[in-house]
């Protein structure tokens, strides 16, 4: 067995690897960027070494520097986790050349399967069905557009080296192809340093089913059954489960054989995932699935496989990397029960799932085992951040993974739903409420879903703009009123104006109270009954006592500098005092409509300049945040009066990007 390992990653996967490595008695070495100097994975490891500034290209993607740190620290092996360098064949080869064990497949296997176009050609040669499309080398836009027309719309543009939805665009019409291609290539280059793409037919009613494979260096290959990852948005997985609903022994055997043969064909070693797209219109069938790609690494969703097999996949990775034989045989493997995983993200489902950053003022996760299931426990939490830490704009916005298991699918989903109800996050906006709505959605519960499920049901899942929760506003009014009174009474304890009893000779009275809710002016009516009792807050005609708002178990109040977050049913409302003198004058005196950055990110493209006329809906700029691109468009017809940055510049959330006004 290896005696030491460097984890070339960050966040929850780095913590996950460290947890198993320490259990096996390995010395653990972490690396970190300046943004992660106090991160949990740094604190968990036996030692940690700085890589560089926050951007991944200046830190976690510096393969040569990571290998140098490994050699200097005496690390026998490097575990790449997922993302970053995990599927970089040159890095795997460089580790081997340096005499360091790469915990993953050989570079030759990564090259064969790591690029989607080459992998599809290999599978076609092996007789595995692949999705119709163009998987060749030519990359000029005119040629690819012609191929898309031949394939027939809708088509899917996919980065050959991408993953997690990076560099992937669905295109519905011929006229939209070139713009989608440009965006896909930019995302692909930024995420993985390779802008080559393929174009393939978009399958209607698709189910995304993947098979976990494991191979040792002695020629043994097994599959650990399948996972269904069909609940996606923007091609990014949201909820994963194992086994796949509706899976039959016949289809499982066919998929498993195809996955194992794919691994054998490239001399695979370690953990890998063979991904298939299935036409779900008629249910899962042995003749109705197609090879998509192979991920030559551990997957984010590996805990659900661990739950139904009882295996620790990181343990297996480290043992295989040590040269040991697999101790599990295909005939002895049987899936047990059901497991489901929800990815808790710092993002705003009510605002187009835009990434959200900032300080985690509260992170209250269910009381459950971390990084591994314990006997009898239905919940497991994998998390790589901590309360008081920051969600930065430089990396994937995942906060944690909530994994549930049960004897049946319904039991697992019930456990997940309950765990999400207990999850309280304040600071960055999150998808907690959205995840719970998904776990409870009747059609999903009944197995009637495909990869388009979320897009078809965004409104019923609460992923559209909604007004703040009324009860949260009442509680917010209490925070503003009593907070102001408390501050005044401390400053002038003997002043009659410090009294909070509302007593007056004329009896009952009503007073409006203005405050800011999510940056917008809100108003509650404070109502005193004349008896000296604390007031009640009236919003939407409903009165609610304000004296003890925290007594409502469903409502959570988290104070922060200058205000409070009110969290109810997974939704967050930011409350601040209202200052009528605090006027936003950004944008000048022209009555401009100011287009602001919806999140912190990099301005990757600016399409207009001051003095140019624009039409409503015209594209103005592109901001890239957390490896995804977001288009900004003109809110009105007019003339550009000002721009707030240049391409390549970092833009803060809320900063002006373009101001559009009258000519």
Identify whether 297 is a catalytic site residue: yes
- Max mean pLDDT among 92-101, 545-554, 608-617 falls in 92-101
Q: Taking the chain, what is the end-to-end CA distance rounded to the nearest angstrom?
A: 72
Is the alpha carbon torsion for 557, 558, 559, 563 positive or negative?
negative
Band (pLDDT 50/70/90 cuts) for residue 523 is very high
124 vs 199: which has the higher pLDDT: 199
By C-alpha distance, which of 2, 1, 11 is closest to 81? 11
Measure the CA–CA gap between 164 and 191, rounded to whole angstroms.
10
d(CA 361, CA 220): 48
Using the CB atoms, write b or e for 57-90: b if 16+ within 10 Å.
eebbbbbebbbebbeebebbbbbbbbbbbbbbbe
| Both structure tokens of 559 | 């104070």
Q: Are residues 626 and 538 part of one domain?
A: no
Query: What sign results for the dihedral spanned by CA atoms 291, 297, 300, 305?
Result: positive
Note the pLDDT tens digit of each residue in 340-392.
999 999 999 999 898 898 999 999 999 999 999 999 999 999 999 999 999 99
Degrees to nearest 5, angle at CA 247 with 242 and 252: 90
- Average pLDDT for the chain: 90
Q: Which residues contact 583 (CB under 8 A, 6 or more apart)?
A: none
Question: Which are the contacts of 143, defined by CB distance < 8 A and separation ≥ 6?
Answer: none
pLDDT at 166: 80
What are the residues facing 625 on neighbouring strands? 628
Q: How many whole angstroms separate alpha carbon 622 and alpha carbon 183?
A: 9
Average confidence (pLDDT) over 34-43: 97
Q: What is the mean pLDDT of residues 189-200?
A: 87
Question: Could you tell me whether strands 628-633 and 563-568 are parallel, antiparallel, or unpaired per DSSP bridges?
Answer: unpaired
Q: Fill in the DSSP letter of residue 46.
A: S
Name, in order, each residue with C-beta under 8 angstroms of 497's C-beta and a sequence gap of 6 or more.
488
Share of residues in the chain with pLDDT > 90 (%): 70
With the CA atoms of 453, 459, 464 and 470 taken in that order, what torsion angle do they form, in degrees rounded to the nearest 10? -140
pLDDT of res. 189: 86
Contact indicator for 655, 644 with CB cutoff of 8 Å: yes
Quote the CA–CA distance of 334 and 332 in Å, as a whole number: 7
With cut-offs at 50, 70 and 90, classify the pLDDT of residue 293.
Answer: confident
Asked, for residue 637, whether it belongs to a domain, the answer is yes
Catalytic one of 10, 252, 297, 474: 297
Q: The domain that contains 190 carries what CATH number?
A: 3.30.1490.20
What's the pLDDT at 528? Answer: 79
The mean pLDDT of 246-272, rounded to a whole number, is 94
In a domain, 587, yes or no: no
Decide if 585 is inside a domain: no
Q: What is the pairing mode between strands 77-79 and 101-102?
A: parallel
Percent of the chain's residues with pLDDT above 70: 92
Instruction: Find, among 415, 413, 411, 416, the residue nearest to 400 by Cα.
Output: 416
Return the pLDDT at 505: 58
Do 644 and 563 fall into the same domain? no
Residues 415 and 498 placed together within one structural domain of the fold: no
The confidence score (pLDDT) of residue 487 equals: 47
| Of residues 334, 327, 328, 342, the one with CA closest to residue 309 | 334
Do 86 and 170 lie in one domain? The reply is no
Q: In this structure, what token pair is assigned to residue 245?
A: 């609903």
Question: Of 215 and 475, which is predicted with more confidence?
Answer: 215
User: Which residue among 304, 336, 368 closes a domain?
Assistant: 336
- Mean predicted confidence (pLDDT) in 312-335: 96
Boundary of a domain, candidates 285, 317, 336: 336
Beta bridge partner(s), residue 445: none
Which of these three, 306, 336, 366, is where a domain ends? Answer: 336
Any domain includes 459:
yes
Per-residue confidence (pLDDT) for residue 654, from 0 to 100: 81
Q: Which residues contact 513 (CB under 8 A, 6 or more apart)?
A: 477, 480, 481, 523, 524, 525, 526, 537
Q: Is 484 helix (H, G, I), strand (E, B) or coil?
A: helix
Q: Answer yes or no: is 150 within a domain.
A: yes
> Tokens in use for 548?
């003890």
| Whether residue 490 has pLDDT greater than 50 | no
Cis amide leading into 154 (omega within 30): yes
| pLDDT value at residue 430 | 97
| Mean pLDDT, rounded, for 62-91 | 97
CATH number at residue 58: 3.40.50.20
Sorted by sequence, the CB contacts under 8 Å of residue 401 that are 6+ apart come out as 12, 300, 303, 341, 342, 343, 344, 381, 382, 383
- Print the domain residue range for 364: 337-465
Residue 122 forms part of a structural domain: no
How do residues 420-447 score in pLDDT, each as one tens digit? 999 999 999 999 999 999 999 999 999 9
**Lowest mean pLDDT: which of 43-47, 258-262, 598-602?**
598-602
The half-sphere exposure of 122 on its side-chain side, counting CA atoms within 13 A, is 23
On whether the CB atoms of residues 524 and 537 are closer than 8 A, the answer is yes
Q: Where are the alpha helices (DSSP H) in 408-469?
A: 409-421, 432-440, 442-445, 453-456
Rounded to whole angstroms, how far apart are CA atoms 608 and 263?
49
The pLDDT score that the predictor gives to residue 495 is 58
Are both 527 and 631 inside the same structural domain?
Answer: no
Q: Report long-range pairs for 548-552 (Cβ below 8 Å, ≥24 apart).
A: 549/474, 549/475, 549/478, 549/479, 552/471, 552/475
In angstroms, how far is CA 496 from the centroid of its own chain? 52
CATH number at residue 434: 3.30.470.20
Highest average pLDDT, of 109-118, 557-566, 598-607, comes from 557-566
Report the SS3 class of residue 447.
coil
Q: How far apart are CA 262 and CA 171, in angstroms?
A: 29
Query: How many CB atoms lie under 10 A from the CB of residue 459?
Result: 9
What value does the CA radius of gyration of the chain take, rounded to a whole number of Å?
A: 27
Cα–Cα distance, 576 to 515 (Å, whole number):
6
Q: Which pLDDT tens digit goes with each residue over 154-190?
A: 999 999 887 667 889 999 999 999 999 999 999 888 8
Same domain as 321, residue 235: yes
Same domain, 571 and 537: yes
Same-domain status, 214 and 328: yes
Quick check: is 355 in a domain?
yes
**pLDDT (average), residues 209-232:** 97
Residue 109 forms part of a structural domain: no
Locate 52 and state its tokens.
């560089």
pLDDT band at 511 (very low <50, low <70, confident <90, very high): confident
Claim to verify: residue 455 and residue 376 sit in the same structural domain: yes
The structural domain count of the chain equals: 6
Can you read off the two tokens belonging to residue 521?
């002016």
How many other C-beta atoms can be found within 10 angstroms of the C-beta atom of residue 442?
8
Strand boundaries in 323-378, DSSP class E: 338-345, 347-348, 354-355, 358-359, 362-364
User: The domain that contains 564 carries what CATH number?
Assistant: 3.30.700
**Which residue intervals of 388-519 are DSSP H helices?**
409-421, 432-440, 442-445, 453-456, 470-491
Are 253 and 308 in contact, with CB atoms under 8 Å apart? Answer: no
Give the pLDDT confidence score for residue 393 in this predicted structure: 86
The pLDDT of residue 627 is: 65
Residues 491 and 457 in one domain: no
Q: Does residue 489 have a pLDDT over 50?
A: no
Residue 279 and residue 183 in one domain = no
Preceding omega of 444 cis (within 30 degrees of 0): no
Q: Same domain for 461 and 358?
A: yes
Tokens of 518: 């999510």
């Amino acid at each position: 067995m290896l005696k030491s390992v460097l984890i070339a990653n960050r966040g929850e996967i780095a913590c996950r690897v460290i947890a198993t490595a320490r259990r096996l008695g390995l010395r653990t070495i972490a690396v970190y960027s300046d943004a992660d100097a106090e991160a949990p994975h740094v604190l968990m490891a036996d030692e940690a070494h700085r890589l560089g500034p926050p951007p991944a290209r200046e830190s976690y993607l510096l393969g040569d520097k990571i290998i140098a740190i490994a050699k200097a620290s005496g690390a026998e092996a490097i575990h790449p986790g997922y993302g970053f360098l995990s599927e970089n064949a040159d890095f795997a080869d460089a580790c081997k050349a340096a005499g360091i064990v790469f915990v993953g497949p050989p570079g030759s296997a990564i090259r064969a399967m790591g690029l989607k176009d080459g992998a599809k050609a290999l599978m076609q040669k092996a007789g595995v069905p692949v999705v119709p499309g163009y998987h060749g080398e030519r990359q000029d836009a005119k040629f690819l557009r012609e191929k898309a027309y031949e394939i027939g719309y809708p088509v899917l543009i996919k980065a050959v080296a991408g993953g997690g939805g990076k560099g992937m665009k669905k295109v519905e019409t011929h006229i939209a192809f070139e713009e989608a291609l440009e965006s896909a290539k930019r995302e692909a280059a930024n995420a993985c340093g390779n802008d080559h793409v393929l174009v393939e037919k978009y399958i209607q009613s698709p189910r995304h089913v993947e098979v976990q494979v494991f191979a040792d260096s002695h020629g043994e290959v097994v599959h650990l059954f399948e996972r269904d990852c069909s609940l996606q948005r923007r091609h990014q997985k949201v909820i994963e489960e194992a086994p796949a609903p509706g899976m039959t022994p016949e289809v499982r055997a066919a998929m498993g054989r195809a996955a194992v043969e794919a691994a054998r064909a490239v001399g695979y070693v370690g953990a890998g995932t063979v991904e298939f797209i299935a036409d779900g219109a008629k249910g899962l069938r042995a003749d109705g699935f197609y090879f998509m790609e192979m991920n030559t690494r551990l997957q984010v969703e590996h805990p659900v496989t661990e739950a139904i097999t009882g295996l620790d996949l990181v343990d297996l990775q480290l043992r295989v990397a040590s040269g040991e034989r697999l101790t599990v045989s295909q005939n002895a493997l049987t899936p047990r029960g059901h497991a489901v995983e929800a990815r808790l993200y710092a993002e705003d489902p009510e605002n187009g799932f835009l990434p959200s950053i900032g300080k985690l003022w509260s992170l209250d996760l269910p009381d459950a085992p971390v990084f591994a299931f314990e006997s009898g426990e239905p919940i497991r939490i994998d998390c790589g951040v901590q309360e008081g830490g920051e969600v930065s704009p430089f990396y994937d916005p995942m906060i944690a993974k909530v994994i549930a298991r049960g004897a049946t699918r319904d039991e697992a989903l019930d456990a997940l739903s309950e765990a999400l109800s207990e999850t309280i996050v304040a600071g960055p906006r999150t998808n907690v409420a959205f995840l719970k709505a998904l776990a409870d959605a009747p059609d999903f519960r009944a197995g009637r879903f495909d990869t388009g499920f979320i897009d078809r049901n965004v409104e019923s899942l609460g992923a559209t703009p909604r007004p703040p929760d009324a009860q949260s506003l009442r509680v917010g009014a209490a925070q503003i009123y009593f907070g102001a009174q408390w501050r005044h009474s401390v400053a002038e304890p003997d002043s009659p104006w410090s009294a909070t009893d509302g007593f007056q000779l004329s009896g009952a009275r009503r007073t409006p109270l203005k405050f800011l809710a999510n940056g917008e002016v809100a108003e509650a009516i404070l109502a005193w009954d004349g008896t000296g009792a604390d007031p009640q807050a009236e919003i939407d005609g409903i009165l609610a006592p304000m004296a003890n708002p925290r007594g409502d178990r469903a409502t959570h109040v988290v104070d922060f500098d200058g205000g409070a977050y009110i969290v109810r049913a997974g939704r967050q409302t930011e409350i601040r005092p209202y200052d009528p003198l605090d006027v936003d004058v950004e944008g000048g005196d022209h009555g401009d409509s100011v287009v602001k950055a919806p999140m912190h990110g990099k301005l990757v493209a600016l399409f207009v300049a001051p003095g140019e006329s624009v039409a409503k809906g015209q594209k103005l700029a592109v901001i890239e945040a957390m490896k995804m691109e977001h288009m900004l468009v003109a809110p009105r017809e007019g003339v550009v009066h000002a721009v707030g940055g240049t391409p390549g510049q970092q833009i803060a959330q809320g900063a002006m990007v373009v101001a559009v006004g009258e000519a």
